Amino acid sequence: MKNFLNLKSGIIYGLELNKLFSYLNKKNIALLAINCIDNLTINSVLESARISKTIVIIQFSYSGSSFFIGNSNDKNSFDSSVKGAILAAYYIHEASIYYNVPVILHTDHCTKDNLNWIDSLLNYNKDFFNSYGKPLFSSHMIDLSIYNLKYNIDICSYYLNEFNKFGIFLEIELGCTGGEEDGIDNSKLSKDKLYTKPENVIYAFKKLSKISNNFLIAASFGNTHGVYKPGNVLLCPKILLRSQNLLNKYNNSNILNFVFHGGSGTSFKIIKECIKYGVVKINLDTDIQWNYWNGVLDYYKKNKLYLKSQLGNPKGIYKPNKKFYDPRIWLKNSKKFIINYLLNVFNILGCNNLI
């Protein structure tokens, strides 16, 4: 299966991306999509992908983009979210080549209130395409799942038409992902909103496929952002299977490419079942956040006697501790924890050795 599509390092888009998702679907393989917020998370993802010889999806949210450029305000400004996403994209374009890894560069949930963010990124995509013959981003997600189906798909159809001019994929959401992430709070939604109706999936497919096949569907089946007590989240992956079967009656030459949001904390047995039903992209955020923090915590526990002051430790009251509190040292431990976690997930899901 080595480099089956002859993918080069760098950003994947357009026809290559279409072929990749089709291949993954037929072979029951899904790629991991990791929400990144800084260079450390980006580099951790790229290094783990290089070791595992796999393809990864690096994605930024609206607030994650703002954080990347250093905006620490509770209310992230529009300008910082645009500039942060652009700077992160340029960095990933270069870093993916340095690490020799093919990357799908994606922006996560964009709600109605933030569509001007996508509009601005689309302008940057146009300029980049005119200069280099390829888009800056591989794909963008538009999340209008809290609105009625027709409105959701009408707006998404407009953007798919625009994206298609530059080989950019669209990800849509049908039904809502529960919980809260990056300021999008669906924790109080009624339970029925968390389960997509297969007929709605087919409605979306019929409308969007008239424009292009370059889209993914995040069809909810009870999935929730975050990690919760076992039993609190009732997943129903069979919704995905029923959607595939319904499409087969309508047009047996097509398959649906699904996205699994809220993958953190889910058993690998359920994840593999979802992949069997057409999931080609699995989002991980909460587990990455935990490993980022756990790396710091682990380092502190092992070295806390050297981290109480700049001078003074068990080896002497004036012994310097600089080599212990240097951020490059303890952040390296966070990177190690993230990489080890990802290597394990790549191995379990069988998405390693793709290149």
- The set of catalytic residues is 108
Rounded to 10 deg, the angle between the 327-349 and 286-303 helix axes is 130
Taking a C-beta distance cutoff of 8 angstroms, is the pair 350, 29 a contact? yes
- Would you say 17 and 169 are in contact if contact means Cβ atoms under 8 Å apart? yes
Distance CA 200, CA 149 (A): 7
CA separation for the pair 255, 250 (Å, rounded)? 11
For the chain, the C-alpha Rg in angstroms (whole number) is 21
Residues 313, 317: Cα–Cα separation, whole Å: 6
Instruction: Please state, in angstroms and rounded to a whole number, the distance separating the CA atoms of residues 26 and 349.
Output: 15
CA–CA dist 227, 266 (Å, integer): 8
Tokens of 186: 């669906």
Q: Which amino acid is at 73?
A: N
